[in-house]
Amino acid sequence: MPATPEGKVKSSVKKLLDKLGAWYFMPMQNGMGRVGIPDFVICLQGYFVGVETKAPGKRKNTTPNQKRELAGIKRAGGISVVVDDVSQLEHLEALIRDRKTEASKAAAQPARPDKGYKHYPNSGDFAVQRKDHHRRPPSSP
């Protein structure tokens, strides 16, 4: 059975993701889950990426549900793209490299202890510092 035009694009995307060492899966759309999820849900070099594939020439034919989900990924800080040719993903590594550079510059900024957070450098986590300003003064006899 010959592959559909979109199926050929998906196959090319899989090959590229394997070459890049990405973790990915392709959610099965069966009407029971969330509508509009991208064809590929990917973790690449620590970044969340959603890729919607289309048949060649149909890149602008995303549904309103797909547009909503792709926009939601971007709002959450992830990367989302629509492609109708695998060559449109070649910029993905450069985009991630740029984001890592921005993140390392932000990490070089000194922590702001006045904001009530403590940074644990080895874990990359922040935790709210406990403040004892609401402790009651000792009662007098």
Q: Would residue 53 count as lying in a domain?
A: yes
pLDDT at residue 126 in the model: 46
Question: How far out from the chain centre does Cα 48 lie?
Answer: 2
Q: Residue 25: what are its φ and ψ, rounded to 5°?
A: -145, 160
Q: How does strand 40-44 pair with strand 79-83?
A: unpaired
End-to-end Cα, the chain, rounded Å = 90
Q: Would residue 120 count as lying in a domain?
A: no
Taking only the tens of pLDDT, the chain with its 141 residues reads 458 988 999 999 999 899 888 999 999 877 777 889 999 999 988 889 999 999 999 999 999 999 999 999 999 999 999 999 888 888 777 777 787 787 777 777 665 555 555 555 555 544 444 454 455 556 666
pLDDT at residue 141 in the model: 60
Expressed as residue numbers, the domain containing 83 is 5-96
For the chain, how many structural domains are there in total? 1
Separation of alpha carbons 82 and 89, rounded Å: 9
pLDDT at residue 135 in the model: 54
Q: Would residue 51 count as lying in a domain?
A: yes
Q: Would residue 130 count as lying in a domain?
A: no
Q: What CATH number has the domain bearing residue 11?
A: 3.40.1350.10
* pTM of the predicted structure, to 2 decimals: 0.68
